Amino acid sequence: MGWKAAQKLINHWKILRGDNVMIIRGKDKGETGIIKRVIRSQNRVIVEGKNLVKKHIKQGQGHEGGIFSVEAPLHASNVQVVDPVTGKPCKVGIKYLEDGTKVRVARGVGTSGSIIPRPEILKIRSTPRPTIAGPKDTPMDLVLEKTYDAKTGMGMPNL
């Protein structure tokens, strides 16, 4: 990627992994699919089962060679999120509800203006949080120990 393209990276992504999108340009125009991967450094997304290209892979140690169909990345401007009510492509806007939660809404002509739900796949962590303390974790009794008293100034280092 050249320096000109790097200057035009998308700052605020409105397309997320797991979103249902419609391809609006290219050889798969008009087809819908789910975002498999977002490549933010290149402004590109990979849609599951779409934009297939033939890849010639040489045989190597531990894998077979041959001609395989793989999903090629699409530019983010060539896909649009599908409105969950109308099923048509729409722009994505941000709105705050009365309770202060931030939600994505469908924008544009002929859209319902309904809330676009956050994909379930984003709620699943790829590496689960550890439930037990490891060897490098600080014990809770040391964490809760009071080492500084604001009134007396005890615990301040002598500088």
Write out pLDDT tens, residues 107-149: 988 888 899 999 988 888 777 777 888 888 888 888 888 888 8
By three-state DSSP, how is residue 123 classified?
helix
pLDDT at 142: 86
pLDDT at 129: 77
What sign for the dihedral angle of Cα 16, 18, 21, 26?
positive
What average pLDDT does this structure show over 45-73?
93
Backbone angles phi, psi at 60, to 5 degrees: -140, -175
Of 4-13, 35-44, 45-54, 75-84, the poorest mean pLDDT is in: 4-13
pTM of the model: 0.73
Beta bridge partners of residue 93, listed in sequence order: 105
